[in-house]
């Protein structure tokens, strides 16, 4: 997992991964969240997250499985790509 998504941190019980994303401003943070929300709907897998101005804190787990699944890894990879896309625009 660390090779695929090196910036994500595994929580203490091993059932979730998390990352804090920081952007230049609120507009970038909101753009990131919009891209993530659209993709989450597409794959029917949704993050637990919060936003404060330019920061977005994310936790991913598959609640129905009570553990991490391929969907969490897929969404984490997409979120990393969306963050890079937003930061470079």
- Cβ neighbours for 57, distance < 8 A, ≥ 6 positions apart: 18, 19, 20, 21, 49, 50, 51
pLDDT digits (tens, 9 = 90+) for 36-86: 999 999 999 999 999 999 999 999 999 989 899 999 999 999 999 999 999
Q: Cα separation of 25 and 41, whole Å? A: 25
Residue 84 lies in a domain: yes
Q: What's the whole-model pTM score? A: 0.95
State the residue range of the domain holding 67. 9-88
pLDDT band for 2, please (50, 70, 90 cuts): confident
Residue 21 lies in a domain: yes
Average pLDDT of the residues in 10-37? 97
In a domain, 58, yes or no: yes
Q: What is the pLDDT, as a whole number, of residue 89?
A: 87
Residue 4 in domain: no
Q: Are 17 and 9 in contact (CB under 8 A)?
A: yes
Residue position matching structure tokens 């991913």: 60
Asked which of 2-6, 11-15, 75-79 is least confident by mean pLDDT, the reply is: 2-6
- Number of domains observed in the structure of the chain: 1
């Amino acid at each position: 997992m660390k090779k695929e998504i090196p910036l994500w941190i595994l929580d203490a019980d091993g059932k979730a991964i998390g990352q804090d994303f920081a952007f230049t401003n609120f507009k970038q943070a909101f753009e990131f969240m919009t891209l993530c929300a659209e993709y989450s709907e597409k794959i029917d897998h949704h993050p637990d997250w919060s936003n404060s101005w330019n920061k977005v804190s994310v936790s991913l787990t598959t609640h129905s499985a009570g553990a991490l699944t391929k969907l969490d890894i897929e969404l984490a990879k997409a979120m990393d790509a969306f963050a890079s896309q937003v930061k470079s625009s």
